[in-house]
Amino acid sequence: MCKNRLLVTVLFIASIATSVQAQTINATDSHGLPGKSQDQIASGEKPLKEGATAAERYQSSLKDLTASYEESLKRLTDQNAKVKELFEKGLVSRREVEQSDSSVAEARAKVEGVQKEIAAAKAEPLRGIADASIINTQDPNVAWSTGNKQIDELIRSNGTRYGVDPYLIYCVMNQESNFRATAVSGKGARGLMQLMPDTAARYGVTNPHDPAQNIKAGTRYLKNLLDLFNGKVDLVLAAYNAGEGTVMKYGNRVPPYAETKYYVRSITARYTGSGLRTPASKSTL
């Protein structure tokens, strides 16, 4: 019996290793494709006909992003099935199954989100996105709720404490985890604000699934980014998604990554959609 369990475990680990190796090979190959600029590779965009509009380029990048997300969803779904098989044989814990389920749900939500964005992009022309400065512009009249009074209060209290608009925190949390404290991404981000391990460690988080610790750390990170990028929300969001170093690498502009551009547009559209904030400036993604 012990030998059988050991064999199953070894085979599972080997399959995961093979999957990771395949992803690495695919990533290497993608950077070796001829005929693409570095920005096209970074953004996932395919070469378009000369004179393509910004809307056409954006829709193209969204389609490529959808394909990438769908591939990730399939991989996570296959892994999820294997984890459940091991659980039935008593080789993994229920917690590992729950984390795998959460990763699949997160991947599926990303696919659905991009598909909605594609539909919206087809329905209306590509518009510039406002990057409203949120410092000292908190408006208590904005109606919002996560559906959990405790989480709502943690958002408000931390927003007030660190000078970050609670509604911005809410919008980021909505995009990151859809208000699920147990959320775990395929890249290892955890909790309501989807803190990466390094970010959680930077702000002293010991349990990223604890709403109080997670929201406090996520809010502090947003505040630090606001200070770093002079309150420009588009750059703050880009840095939250891709890292502040990446934003600075591209000259304090939103990096040309399809996922990051989608992330910034989605949250900023929601954040400025209330009509209660006056745009400070415009930036086209």
Strand, coil or helix: what is 190? Answer: strand
How far apart CA 59 and CA 71 sit, in angstroms, is 19
Q: Is the dihedral of CA 59, 177, 182, 17 positive or negative?
A: positive
Sequence-ordered list of residues with C-beta below 8 angstroms from that of 251, at least 6 positions apart, any chain:
none
3-state secondary structure of 143: coil
Q: Which residues are annotated as catalytic?
A: 176
Enumerate the H helices of the chain as residue ranges.
2-30, 38-43, 54-88, 94-123, 149-162, 166-177, 197-202, 211-228, 233-242, 244-249, 258-272
By three-state DSSP, how is residue 195 classified? Answer: strand
